Amino acid sequence: MPKKKLVYIWSLRNAAADKAGQDIAYKSGSRYMKSVLESLVEALNETGLGDQYSLEQVIYDDDAGSSADREKLKEYGFAYEPGKRWFYPPDLRVQGKPVNDLLLAIPSTYRREPLDAPGRAARKSEFEKHLLDTLRALKADIVVLDGLLIILDELVRPGAPFYRKIVNIHPGVTRADSPYERRGAYATLDALYGARGKKVINWKTMETVAVEPLHLTGASFHYVDNGIDSGEVIHDVLNTEIDENDTILELRWNNFNRSLFPALNEGLAIMAGQQASRCDAC
């Protein structure tokens, strides 16, 4: 069976917030913050996932024309430059190919406009069409989102060419029936507050209410729909203990290594198995 063509899409500014590719302060020492992309590359190089998938392209939506994006990426830039920080070892290779050679910018420039700007919706539609044309040209079989800081609309609607071919890896359990559910951009911070017996009910004012402490969090690998981390869950892992004295980066490090990386690898393996089963039934 030929390998499935995998395309990876992320927002560099999200990885920058995680200090990806850097040593971070961890308790009394330091630990290396491995990016999700670096972990995926290792899995494709070193495990059976490499027999199932080939990484075809790494797309990022960051906008070099945006002052806000430039500020968020000031430590890294928008492409690797010798002597500057980068999100993974610059000589990293995947299945024999330099990862840096796979990078492709498709900037979400519509974000420069206010939410209520008349032309914003049309420009967002143009951005998604650019993504669609690129995915079609690559003949992508599966698209993995990691920390993409935008909500897709047209690409994931029922009947769209990539409906149920786009999946997301999220640093929180997204099942609605789970007491450990943590969706959205504040999932890790939400879990940290939860371990301290608090629930943030307004992220702007940071107003909280008291709740029963929960000292676990995890990660979900799920289909992408038009909501925020609301798509059908393919696989999740709940394996990260929370120390209420953790910093946000300490908890991110723990959750990536104990739950998120396993959820991604195991989720991709499940999808490969499902594809194989369908082919066997043909």
pLDDT in tens, 190-235: 999 999 999 999 999 999 999 999 999 999 999 999 999 999 999 9
What share of the chain in percent tops pLDDT 70?
A: 97
> Whole-structure pTM over 0.75, yes or no?
yes
152 within some domain = yes
Summarize the confidence of residues 165-185 as an average pLDDT.
Answer: 96
97 within some domain = yes
pLDDT at 275: 62
pLDDT at 281: 52
74 within some domain = yes
- State yes or no: pLDDT of 156 exceeds 60: yes
For residue 77, what is the domain's CATH number? 3.40.50
- Residues 276, 234, 45, 135, CA torsion sign: positive
115 within some domain = yes
Q: Residues near 63 by Cβ (< 8 Å), separated by ≥ 6?
A: 69, 107, 108, 109, 111, 112
| Overall number of domains in the chain | 1
Q: How far apart are CA 183 and CA 189, in angstroms?
A: 11
52 within some domain = yes
- Domain containing residue 122: 4-163
pLDDT at 191: 98
